[in-house]
Chains A and B, each alone.
Chain A
Amino acid sequence: MAEYQLTEAKLALVVDDSVMQCKVLSVLLKEEGYRVITANDGARSVAMYIKYQPDLVLMDINMPIMDGYQAARKIKELSEGNLAPLIFITSMDTDDAFIESIDAGGDGILVRPFSPEVFKAKIKSIQRISDLYLQVKKLQQVQQSDAELAEQLMSGVIESRNFALEKIGVVKKAAELFSGDIQLSALSPNGDVFVMLGDFTGHGLRSSIGAVPLAETFRTMTTKGFSIYEIIAQINHQLYHLLPADLFLAAAIASVSSHHSSVCIFNAGLPDVYIYDGQGNIKEKISSFHPPIGVLPQLLPDVTLQITSVSSTDRVVLISDGIVEARNEIGDMFGFERFEQATQAALLQGDISKGVMNTLEMFCQKTPQSDDISLIDIPCGGWRDYFREHNLLNTDKKEAIEQACIDNEPAWKWQLNITGSRLSSVNPIPMAMNQVNDIEGSGEHWQSLYTILTELFVNALDHGVLGLNSDLKNHQIGFVAYFNEREQRLKKLNSGYVDLVLSYHPFEQGGKVIIQVSDSGKGFDFLAVVKNQCVNDDAGYVVSGRGLGLVTQLCETLQYDIETSTVTATYVWEK
């Protein structure tokens, strides 16, 4: 809706101790369309100025009670940002008079005698400048209030919905009202924690424009169970189409899996990602290995995630270049060396983000910040406790109650058979979960189903179709080797299949899902695989005394038929 402002005649204040002069100037001003008020001494002019807030002041210099200079100083003091132009009118044609007029805050001086035409021309020119100033100020105000509103909205959408902020240390210091840096965290249904630090080109509003779609995609895909690589590929695709060519996102994304004691990292244009051990030593630095997100239409095909084995006391630290490029008064940069030292010291004191920021502030003192500064510090362990405290992933053994009325026929059945090369490019789990959610509605209990499906599908693919030996996974280092081998075999895959069937039986309170996964493989030592999943669990949590794995724990029943290479699992949930 446009705003219309009725333009009222402008108001001029004429100050002169001669009533005659006041009259002459008033007539000229009225001819120019002004309304006019007059004052005959300086003190009175100040009072009138306060009362009427005129658009223009004409000021004589020599007057009783308070002279023109004094009155002008008072008026300028009172008007602050509000520029009502003030013109001195005098017959003193000296340099001193001119200099003092300007010094007292006058915007111009007119020396008598002058013709009416010269007077009018002067008024016009001064009014033109003042109109321009008002216009700029108005635009600035509109811009400021728009920016504040947008900022509020954005931080609401983006930051307030981040996951586990009490466990993940986040520093965000914007150079302007808007930050071009963005920090996101979300929980995958399998218990992996996904964290992203992004740095859009430049800073300010222009650079944060891509933040909203980015945050939405990141969160939605994470909670739906897509893999970190699929999420990055999608975000890249999205930003490539959404943003102009010179706007892109340098980003590092880490997924921390306490289940596999490993961290996956993708670094696209950010400074090295650090992995620190519990003593503050650098275990690994992962340099950028891909152009920033949104530069290329697709991710480079030869690039894969960097996977590192970690222990529960390790920490992953992500930074944007704003930290290392921050300068002090004499222009020195904070640099990587100072950053690494500060991080080690801060880690030993127990709070990386706080400690590093203190050191950085001491270094920069009052030097104005020229780029957005961010840091994210993610612990690799302790997530199980966190999930338990917050009741997030219901991985505890349930005492399932046999329901009185169980239908023999399922309420619905869903089946997907994926073959050949599609097995390496399609993740069927989000599709399956979408079906379940679409038919039965969403709910916390589906997270366990997700875990079961993922584990069973991955087992069928890895050990069935790809024929990978599960012994490799026994050791932390072996896990990396295992994963690399898996990537190799997946790329070459052009035959085989995995068949997935879900049947749903509703109960009065809750329901039962029967999951059947079969594959084209020769069959594998199912029990050994399931046991391995237990070995790789968070140290200190022996999942159950019977030495059974995560899936067994979540399932009501679990059977494996080596002849047909088929696993049948039932998952029961109650309201």
Chain B
Amino acid sequence: MSVKKMISADKKNVSIIVENHFDFSLHQKFRDAYAECNNTGTVFSLELAKTTYMDSSALGMILLLKDHAEKVGGSVVIKKPNETVFKILEIAQFHRLMTIE
């Protein structure tokens, strides 16, 4: 279980990479990954290629990220979820709230 963060040189693109289980235990780490990124128009990419499982509290955490992104006039893009994770996002109809690639 881990959260990694990569910030582009112009600080407009923030990638957050979550590996293995994405659940409540990552709450603090996940928040820390974006809380300081306040540049106007920042695009937050949530890389889920290596995420194997996600629970409803993870969905809640993504919503908090979305709130933050909207506050700074930016957006959230979810990238490469595997089949299981995509199913969870689909049931919650998250594609209606943000971009899933």
Contacts and interface: CB of A to CB of B under 8 A. Distances in A.
B91 interface: yes
A247 interface: yes
A291 B60 CA distance: 12
A269 interface: yes
A201 interface: yes
B64 A245 contact: yes
Interface stretch (A74-82, A292-300, A482-490): A292-300
Interface string B46-61: 0000000001110111
Contacts of A42: none
B28 interface: no
Interface string A244-288: 011110100000000000000000111100000000000000011
Contacts of A245: 60, 63-64, 67
B93 interface: yes
A187 B61 CA distance: 36
Interface of B is mostly: helix
Residue among B64, B91, B97 having the largest count of chain A Cβ atoms under 10 Å: B91
A292 B96 CA distance: 11
B24 interface: yes
Contacts of A287: 91
A417 B64 CA distance: 45
Contacts of B55: 202
Residue among A268, A269, A288 having the largest count of chain B Cβ atoms under 10 Å: A269
Contact of A250 (B24, B56, B67, B97): B56
B7 interface: no
A292 B89 CA distance: 11
B93 A246 contact: no
Interface string A280-321: 000000011111100110001000000000000000000001
B34 interface: no
A268 B94 CA distance: 11
B56 A288 contact: no
B72 interface: no
B92 interface: yes
B92 A288 contact: yes
Nearest to B23: A202
Interface in B13-37: 24
A246 B61 contact: yes
Nearest to A289: B93
Given A269-B91, A270-B91, A202 B96 contact: no
A295 B63 contact: yes
Residue among A246, A290, A295 having the largest count of chain B Cβ atoms under 10 Å: A246
Nearest to A267: B91
B93 A291 contact: yes
B92 A250 contact: yes
A201 B60 contact: yes
Interface in B30-86: 55-57, 59-61, 63-64, 67
A519 interface: no
A199 B96 CA distance: 20
A271 B87 CA distance: 10
B56 A202 contact: yes
Contacts of A290: 93, 96
Categorize the interface residue count of chain B. Answer: 10 to 19
A250 B94 CA distance: 12
Residue among B56, B61, B92, B94 having the largest count of chain A Cβ atoms under 10 Å: B56
A199 to B, nearest CB: 7
Contact of A269 (B57, B63, B67, B92): B92
A560 B24 CA distance: 63
A300 B96 contact: yes
A519 B56 CA distance: 49
Contacts of B96: 290-291, 300
B33 to A, nearest CB: 15
B12 to A, nearest CB: 24
Interface in A172-228: 199, 201-202
Given A246-B63, A250-B92, A269-B92, A199 B56 contact: yes
Nearest to A292: B92
Residue among B24, B57, B64 having the largest count of chain A Cβ atoms under 10 Å: B57
B100 to A, nearest CB: 13
Nearest to B95: A291
Given A201-B59, A291-B97, A296-B97, A246 B92 contact: no
Contacts of B60: 201-202, 245-248
A291 B94 contact: yes
Contacts of B93: 268-269, 288-292
A291 B94 CA distance: 6
Contacts of B57: 201-202, 246
A143 B55 CA distance: 26
A288 B92 CA distance: 7
B45 to A, nearest CB: 20
Contacts of A295: 63, 97
B91 A248 contact: no
Given A201-B56, A202-B56, A296-B97, A291 B92 contact: yes
Nearest to B24: A202
Nearest to A371: B55
Contacts of A289: 93
5 contacts: A246-B57, A248-B63, A268-B93, A292-B92, A296-B97
Q: Which 7 A-B pairs have the closest CB atoms?
A: A246-B60, A291-B93, A201-B56, A288-B91, A201-B60, A269-B92, A202-B57
Interface of B: 24, 55-57, 59-61, 63-64, 67, 90-94, 96-97
Given A201-B57, A290-B96, 18 more contacts: A199-B56, A201-B56, A202-B24, A202-B60, A245-B63, A245-B64, A246-B60, A248-B60, A268-B93, A269-B92, A288-B92, A288-B93, A290-B93, A291-B94, A291-B96, A292-B92, A295-B63, A296-B97
